[in-house]
Amino acid sequence: MTAAALSLDVQDGIAIITIDLPNESVNKFSAAVIAEFDAMMTTIEGNSAVKAAVLISGKPDVFIAGADIDAFLEFKSAKDAEAASSSGQRMMSRLERSRAPVVAAIHGACLGAGLETALACAYRIASDHPKTVLALPETQLGLIPGAGGTQRLPKVVGLQVALDMILTAKNVRAKKALQSGLVDELVHPSILRSVAIQRAKALAAGTLRGHSEKARGVMGTLFEGNPVGRAIVFRQARALTLKKSRGAYPALLAAIDAMQAGYEGTAEQGFATEARLFGEMAATAVSRELIFLFFATTSLKKDTGVGEGSPAPLPVTQLGILGTGFMGAGIAAVAAMQGIPVRFKDMQHEQVGRGLAAVRAVLQERLTKKQITRQQFDDQLSLVSGTIEYTGFGNVPLVIEAVFEDLAVKHQVLAEIAKVLPPSAIFASNTSTIPIAQVADGSPRPDRVIGMHFFSPVQKMPLLEVIATRRTAPEVIATTVAFGRKLGKTVIVVNDAPGFYVNRILAPYINEAGRMLDEGVAIEAIDRAMLDFGFPVGPITLLDEVGLDIAGKSGAIMAKAFGDRLQPSASLGQVLASGRLGRKSKKGFYRYDASGKKGGVDESVYSLLPTGTRRTELAKEEIQRRCSLAMVNEAARCLEEHTVRSPRDGDIGAVFGIGFPPFRGGPFRHVDAVGAAEIVRQLAALNAEHHGRFDPCALLVQMAREGQRFYPATGKPV
């Protein structure tokens, strides 16, 4: 077999199996790799000299990253996917029942089918290293673990921990994995191989018990050890899942069903249920859209932002930040997390001190959650220094401006910093509203000016919009994109325009919710409808979260740029004029306690609205149609005007920037799912009732007329 993924080396009765998929950065399972495993197990079991085995990776920081997602596109039906699941299960069962017990030596990412492989091994050793994480992330693709994960994981870590791992798809770090029993032992990476060989010998000699045996000896809690208790756990898991997902992600309930089947029937019935449900989930539209997002984000990581033949990005080994407020501190903290020295600058020592304290708070949260060690906390905090002068900026290759949203202020700091920075330095503005071309007008080197629009809070929001003007040098774009990825962000490049892309498509969505308030629709009815549509928060709640003052300022800019079509609602203006700013002032459309925790609707706010306390009933579907189509239509306009460069970037921006429902794929995927002709028909009907706000953009009209789609109907979606 040429270019094999597996190699075998037998030493003193121990078979060392190394998985190293050729021409790939990670190990992943495909039908070919499964066939290799099957052949390898036949070889091992047929060799009486082999008493035990070690499975280890040849990749530097990856054990096995999971299944080959490309293969999922080849499924023609639920039965095809079910058959693939059954094939994976058979391989894992063979591993589990092997005459020669297998030790999994885990270093780096052990995900999906990789963890299912480890669970089938007799013993698991993990390296004590930050890059060693274990997870079953299948529900993020609208699937369930399909190679025995729903059956073996609960038996190893207990039902409640298994439910949490599978339903949240969260990464489990090595130390936590040891505590939960997910792995048996933790060692330094340098001795992982040698210790794994020792444990394999001990298993062969019968002096070491495999984890599955130990688990059977200690398993059993008050709830999990009996059918009545387990029924309660499963019932509570379903109720909580439905409450959080609002029924939009069927794989979550399917995973619970598969786990329950493993307890209530025979082992064979449990595995059969898992395979059947894996097949059913693979055939859902939800899985299709989530897999699209996986491919879209993967392809985006290879996009330099300037196309083929792009210049190499300049190295950014240190960062300057002007402005130590909430956004500046967030950017500084994220940079420090990546080991990048940061020089902070503000006008007063007190402001610098508050900024440093804010950075400390962000890092402290990571320390409290045990995401970093005390040493890492100290090291990262030491990377951030502050000043009220421009000392320390002379050799900084990239400066991010995060000062007050006023063009004159930005021009002032740009003029000041230009005297200090080297000619090759990049000046990036974190503005969310002011066109970057206007900012660049204040620079002697406008080709070195670019936009970096971070989203709040910076340490939690994944998206970064990089905004290029007509004058921005390709080298500057490539460098900024590469640096954004170094910060761990999902980066899209958009062309300069008022509101850029994400805020521009958010504006009509928020405005339409505000217009419904103008008409007397209840606050909670609007929010509830859009939660049911799939957004993480309702539009009125979002106004309170963002801040009514910020929303008001952004709305005015949008209205000035695009006219009555994006004119903010009267309700927003009147509530803002009353002094309510939302959560930060503890008073907005909702009530907030002293800590800022949200309560119910503040009924007194209705007296500020155009209709007063009079309420108007509006069907949930109508609320959803008006808000969502206002956003979708604007997204298509942005593509038509080349503000956003591709449907892929537009969908990623909407999902990762403002929470467009991931199971719908994004506004452009949504158009394809519904059909451009039907979208245009619905827009035209709304426009007849609300003249000027829903006029279908020319691109959608053309697509409807010609039967076009944004993405191919078959094959890889991006």
Active site residues: 465
CA distances to 421, 439, 689, 704 from 698, in Å: 45, 31, 19, 10
Measured in degrees and rounded to the nearest 5, phi and psi for residue 247 equal: 75, 10
Asked whether the beta carbons of 334 and 340 are under 8 A apart, the reply is: no
Asked whether the beta carbons of 90 and 41 are under 8 A apart, the reply is: no
Amino acid at 446: P
Burial of 531 (0-12, 13-18, 19+ CB in 10 A): middle
Say which residue the tokens 């007190």 belong to: 350
- DSSP letters for 459-498: TT--EEEEEE-TT--HHHHHHHHHHHHHTT-EEEEEE--T
The tokens describing 516, both together, are 């419904």
Closest C-alpha among 679, 688, 666, 670 to residue 300: 666
Closest C-alpha among 221, 235, 239 to residue 159: 221
- Strand, coil or helix: 306: coil
- What is the distance, to the nearest Å, from the Cα of residue 397 to the centroid of all Cα atoms in its chain? 29
Alpha helices in 219-266 (DSSP H): 227-245, 250-264
The two beta strands, 449-454 and 426-429, are parallel
Measured in degrees and rounded to the nearest 5, phi and psi for residue 452 equal: -130, 95
138 Cβ neighbours under 8 A, 6+ residues apart: 112, 144, 145, 146, 149, 166, 169, 251, 255
The two beta strands, 62-64 and 14-19, are unpaired
- What is the distance, to the nearest Å, from the Cα of residue 173 to the centroid of all Cα atoms in its chain? 18
Q: What is the DSSP-derived secondary structure letter of residue 418?
A: H
